[in-house]
Amino acid sequence: MGAALVVPALLFAAACGSEDSSDSDNGGKTGAVTKVTGAFGEEPKFDVPDDAKASDEAVVKVLSEGDGAKVGKGDQVRLDFAGKTMKGDQDLGSTWAQPAAGGGGGQQAGGAVHQQLMGKVGEPNQSLPPDVLDSVEGHTVGSRLLVEGTAGALVGESLNPESGIKKGDGLVWVIDVAGAGKVDAKAGLKGESAEPREGMPEIEVPAGKAAKITIPDGADAPKELQEQVLVKGKGAKVEAGQGLVAQYTGYAWEDGKKFDASWDNAGAATFQIGTGSVVEGWDKALVGKKVGDRVLLVIPPDLGYGKSKGHELEKKTLVFVVDILGTV
C-alpha cells in the first residue's frame, strides 16, 4: 500500500535487534557528546567534537520534552529522524530529506507536511535499528531525543558489513516524536451503513471480517475518483501528515477479485496520509474525512498503481471500503 523510507547506508542487514545494551529505565545516560541545534520539527544540525568518543552503551538524551501522551511498548508511532556517523558525516537517513507533500519534488522546508516514519515500538523497522526506534518508549509526544553510541551498541550483530561502518564507529540520531497511540488490531466500526449510490459497487460488511464487494454487472470502470461516505463518524477530521488507523478491504473492478484486506492480515493498519505514503486516491479522498467514517472508494489506475510499472495492479481500477478508526 505504501512506500517505505530508505536508509542510504544500508546500515543493518536484517530485521533483528542488537544486544540489550541500552539503559534499563530508558531514561538515558548523561554522556552524550554530540551538540544539536534546532527546535522540535526543524531539521537538526549536528556538531561532533573532533575528539569525541562514542559510548559503548546506548545513550538517550532528552533535548526538549513534549507535553503529549507517553509512548508505551507496542504503540504505533509517527517520527521524524535524522542520523549520521559521528566521524565522516555518513548519512544514515532523514525524514527531513523527503519531498514536501503536494508535489514540487524539492526538499521540504521546516514544518512542511512530509513523509515521516511510521513504526511500532518493540517491532523491527526498515529505517531505524530496533534499539534506536525503541528509545522513544517512556517519552512523550512532542519530545526531541538524541540517541548516540557505537554501531556495536546500537545495531549489534545485524550491522551490515557492506555499509562500511565498523562496530566501534560512533552513530548518532535525533528523533522527534510527532505522534503515538495504541491500535486495537481487531477494532471495527459500528453503525448503520447507507446504500451505495447508483453505479457504485454493492458491499456487505460482516462483523470482524473483510468486506464483500460486488462490482456492477457489465459496467465500465469510472475514469475519475469516486467516493461515498457510507457511515458518518463523529470524530475529528483527518489532517494531512497524520497516521491514519484503518480497517480496509480492496477489490479490483476489472475481475471483481479481492487483492488485499487488513482483516486477512494483522488487523487494523496505520498509514501516513496526505504525504504520498499511500496511493494517491487515498490521499485525495481520505484527508478531511472524520474518524468513525466508513468510505467507499473507486480509484482509477492513474491515482492507484498506474505509475508503478510492472505492478500486478498497474492497470486496475481499485475499489476500497475503508473504516477510519483513529489517527496517530
Over the stretch 186-235, which tens digit does the pLDDT of each residue have?
Answer: 999 988 889 999 999 999 999 999 999 999 999 999 999 999 999 999 99
d(CA 233, CA 281): 20
**What is the C-alpha separation between 323 and 248, in angstroms, rounded?**
6
SS3 210: coil
Instruction: Report pLDDT for 106.
Output: 36
Residue among 222, 264, 225, 230 nearest 247 (CA): 264
Comparing 23 with 139, the larger pLDDT belongs to 139
pTM: 0.87
- Give the residue with greater pLDDT, 291 vs 6: 291
Q: How many secondary structure helices (H) and strands (E) does the chain include?
A: 3, 16
Query: What is the grid cell recorded at 134?
Result: 525503541
Instruction: Summarize the confidence of residues 283-307 as an average pLDDT.
Output: 97
What are the residue boundaries of the structural domains of the chain, listed by start? 35-181, 202-327
**What pLDDT shows up at residue 191?**
80
- Interatomic CA distance for residues 117 and 77, integer angstroms: 8
Instruction: Indicate the CATH number of 202-327 among 3.30.1240.10, 3.10.50.40, 3.50.50.60, 2.40.70.10.
Output: 3.10.50.40
The grid coordinates of residue 99 equal 519531498
Identify the H or E element spanning 41: none
User: Looking at the domain that runs over 35-181, which CATH code has it been given?
Assistant: 3.10.50.40
pLDDT of residue 24: 36
- The residue with greater pLDDT, 134 or 101, is 134
Amino acid present at 276: G
Cell 521546516 -> residue: 110
Cα angle: 243, vertex 158, 83; to 5 degrees: 50
CATH topology agreement for domains 35-181 and 202-327 = yes
- Confirm if 193 and 231 have CB atoms less than 8 A apart: yes
